[in-house]
């Protein structure tokens, strides 16, 4: 669908989506972005498989891994406490947050959604405004907006982590797209808060020639020093799933777990060229058959 038209229709669509049955919500969302109805009976593309998972995959192992608080506990138990960024505090409500007691700089995040992060470099001067923002975080229902089932099973909370500094291009995100325990693509996001760029590399750090939502960086990105170690973690975390994206950081010479997601981009990001949507979808399909989670629709 034409991007200007999509931008115009987006607020109108937001008004009606909550009244729709989940299946129609997913179908119309896919049509709105990709210009076609998803094949839910026999998915072929990565984005079709994401749409299928939203509606039909109810693997009980997924909700704990998308809960940012619980996932870190699981990862620490499995790989050791140094593998995670410490959780300094958790809160059920924004009124519980004691700004005088927080260690600055820090990050305050919602555990049940994507992108709900607040970075505090010092104690806020207007604490009421910050509390209002945190209340919005807790009130946001990610699964209602995106139909990503696993998040509907997560009880909303706030968590506090130490702020992690990045380098020249900010804190680099390494996102390992993992299919049945095999990493096919490493997504690298740089300059996220200035001039967001995104590149994809294979496990040998060869650039893969496609773009997804953001343009490629116009400079060379060096592989992380701990690339082999990162690949090992991603493969172990992803070995039981047809697809999962494992997000890792390299901080102070150590690998740190970020989060895991089973619905990259909600299935609403356009591959350029589109053939890579099918290439990754084929890999997902092979794993789904092995998982025996593919249901007749």
| pLDDT at residue 3, as a whole number | 56
Paired strand residues for 256: 249
Domain ranges in the chain are: 67-162, 166-261
| pLDDT at residue 2, as a whole number | 53
Tell me: the pLDDT tens digits for 44-54? 999 999 999 99
CATH topology of domain 166-261: D-amino Acid Aminotransferase; Chain A, domain 1 (3.30.470)
Predicted TM-score (pTM) of the model is 0.92
**Residue 130 Cα distances to 91, 120, 124, angstroms:** 14, 10, 7
DSSP-H helix ranges across 115-172: 127-139, 142-146, 149-152
Distance of alpha carbon 294 from alpha carbon 102, whole angstroms: 46
| pLDDT at residue 9, as a whole number | 67
Rg of the chain over Cα atoms, rounded to whole angstroms, equals 19
| pLDDT at residue 17, as a whole number | 74
CB 62 within 8 A of CB 150: yes
Residue-by-residue pLDDT tens, the chain, 297 positions: 455 556 666 667 667 777 789 999 999 999 999 999 999 999 999 999 999 999 999 999 999 999 999 999 999 999 999 999 999 999 999 999 999 999 999 999 999 998 899 999 999 999 999 999 999 999 999 999 999 999 999 999 999 999 998 777 778 999 999 999 999 999 999 988 889 999 999 999 999 999 999 999 999 999 999 999 999 999 999 999 999 999 999 998 899 999 999 999 999 999 999 999 999 999 999 887 656 544 444
Residues 6+ positions from 207 with CB-CB distance below 8 Å: 199, 200, 201, 216
């Amino acid at each position: 669908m034409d991007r200007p038209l999509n931008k115009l229709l987006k607020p109108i669509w937001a008004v009606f989506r909550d009244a729709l049955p989940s299946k129609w919500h997913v179908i119309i969302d896919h049509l709105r972005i990709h210009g076609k109805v998803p094949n839910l009976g026999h998915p072929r593309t990565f984005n079709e498989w994401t749409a299928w998972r939203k509606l039909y995959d109810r693997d009980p192992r997924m909700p704990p891994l998308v809960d940012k608080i619980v996932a870190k506990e699981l990862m620490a138990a499995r790989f050791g406490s140094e593998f995670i960024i410490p959780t300094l505090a958790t809160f059920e409500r924004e009124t519980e947050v004691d700004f005088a007691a927080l260690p600055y700089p820090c990050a305050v995040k919602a555990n049940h959604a994507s992108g709900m992060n607040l970075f505090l470099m010092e104690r806020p001067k207007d604490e009421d405004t910050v509390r209002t923002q945190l209340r919005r975080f807790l009130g946001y229902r990610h699964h209602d907006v995106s139909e990503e089932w696993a998040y509907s099973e997560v009880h909303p909370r706030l968590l506090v982590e130490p702020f992690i500094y990045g380098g020249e291009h900010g804190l680099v995100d390494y996102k390992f797209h993992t299919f049945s325990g095999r990493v096919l693509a490493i997504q690298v996001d740089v300059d996220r808060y200035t001039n967001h760029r995104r590149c994809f590399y294979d496990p040998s750090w060869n650039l893969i020639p496609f773009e997804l939502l953001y343009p490629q960086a116009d400079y060379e990105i060096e592989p992380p020093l701990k690339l082999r170690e990162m690949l090992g973690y991603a493969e172990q975390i992803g070995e039981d799933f047809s697809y999962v994206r494992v997000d890792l950081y390299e901080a102070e010479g150590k690998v740190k777990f970020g989060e895991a997601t089973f619905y990259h981009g909600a299935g609403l990001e356009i591959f350029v060229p589109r053939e890579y949507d099918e290439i990754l979808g084929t890999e997902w399909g092979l794993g789904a058959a092995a998982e025996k989670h593919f249901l007749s629709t």
